[in-house]
Amino acid sequence: MTDKLYTDALLGESYREIRHPSGLTIRVLHKDGYKSSYALFATKYGSIDTRIAQADGSFRAIPEGTAHFLEHKLFESEDLDAFERFAKTGANANAFTSFDMTAYLFLCADRFSENLEILLDFVQSPYFTEETVRKEQGIIGQEIRMYRDSAEWEVEFNLLRALYHHHPVRIDIAGTEQTIAQISADLLYDCYRNFYDLHNMVLTVAGKATAEEVLAVADKMLKPASGKAAVREFVAEPPTPAQRTIEERMPVNVPQFALGYKEAIVSPERTEKDVLCADILLEAIAGRSSALFKRLLDEGLINTGFGAQYFHGFGYANCEFSGESADPFRAAEEIRKAVADVRKTGVDPAAFERARRKNYGRFVMQFNEVSSVAHALADSYFAGNDLFESARICRELTLGDVNARLGELLDDDTTALSVILPKDGKE
């Protein structure tokens, strides 16, 4: 077992990273004076993992939506399900599946060790039968139909389908009713063995709990793993989008849009500096203090819900501008013009500095919330970073760094537009 302390003196924060004999990495950030603790047990397995690596180096396809399906099923057991067990301790428990990760979590004010035992127990104790799988297919089928009725969900996934030709990020996290119908109990056990090895996982804890409390439970509950992390397939993508525009009509009062700029991907993952430069670039161009935001708002082309984000993961990345607009096509055109101007002139120095400081401030503020810290500990671990690397890079970034990154992003030839229009045809 190894035990390392990471500290950032300027932030006044530190955390311990323990490589447990079982194969699991544990990160604990204890906060003096806090009354609650948040624990997150996550695996590097998300909706983009639609193929399992074989011994000969090839990959075998699995149904889309399997990661999300498995997340739902792990809460069940032959006796009480995990939610019922947490209800008896008073903990607030949940789980989620994203494109790149599946995580199980709880927040509690007391009985931390008991709650952590429950978390480590049920995630390591899969129980699937064909009968319960069939029942879950109906439940998740309803969930899929519900999300199809969400304009916010549809405008986002339509954009991803427009941007990407092959990458599974274009697939709905829950899959489709047709793909989940192919899931069986044997398949779930197969995926569990492949992706839920402790070497492919991380446990993060933030708040009142100490590393000693976490280790005492870990020593008791963790089962030694086989010693391998899952292999993730890299799906190559053309640099241009699959299609330029997707329009859909739904029962909305105001049209919604998402304008994306696809990034050309050479290697599967972005560096932390690449991510920070992209975040700061988008804040400088379209943040609330930007000239673009003010002009679009004054002209009635957006409302205060408008925003921009750098969306990235294993083998995919894009810059996205999205929101509601009475004239989404004109709004998108104005954004494209503003972006083209910035690519010609470079980022305004004052806008860069405001954006850099805001980004750093957001990073600092997350330490006030135990949930934010636990999630950041997991995200940075799976990215191969220590938690404080982002702050160190942000403090040292220059305008030249961001302008160099600008040269790699926001090429107008890579754009795609997703629009949701009112169903009655009134625009």
DSSP code for 233: P
Residue 34: C-alpha distances to residues 10, 205, 307, 368 (Å)? 20, 13, 33, 10
Q: Which token pair is 295?
A: 């002009």
The neighbour count for residue 100, using CB atoms within 10 Å, is 24
- The position carrying tokens 């890579």 is 414
With residue 340 as reference, give the H or E element that holds it: helix 328-345
Contact criterion met (CB below 8 Å) for 144 and 176: yes
**Is residue 387 helix, strand or coil?**
coil
Within 60-184, residue ranges assigned H as helices are: 66-74, 82-89, 112-123, 130-148, 151-163, 177-180
Q: Is 71 labeled as catalytic in the residue annotation?
A: yes
Contact criterion met (CB below 8 Å) for 181 and 138: no
Cα of 290 vs its chain's centroid, Å: 26
Within 149-298, residue ranges assigned H as helices are: 151-163, 177-180, 185-195, 211-221, 272-286, 291-298
Which one from 71, 136, 156, 389 is the annotated catalytic residue?
A: 71
What does the alpha-carbon distance between residue 231 and residue 194 come to, in Å, rounded to a whole number?
9
Helix and strand numbers (H, E) in the chain are: 15, 14
What does the alpha-carbon distance between residue 27 and residue 35 come to, in Å, rounded to a whole number?
19
Q: Which residues contact 43 (CB under 8 A, 6 or more apart)?
A: 101, 102, 103, 195, 196, 200, 201
Contact criterion met (CB below 8 Å) for 243 and 416: yes
What does the alpha-carbon distance between residue 25 and residue 27 come to, in Å, rounded to a whole number?
7
What does the alpha-carbon distance between residue 92 and residue 219 come to, in Å, rounded to a whole number?
24
Residues assigned a catalytic role: 71
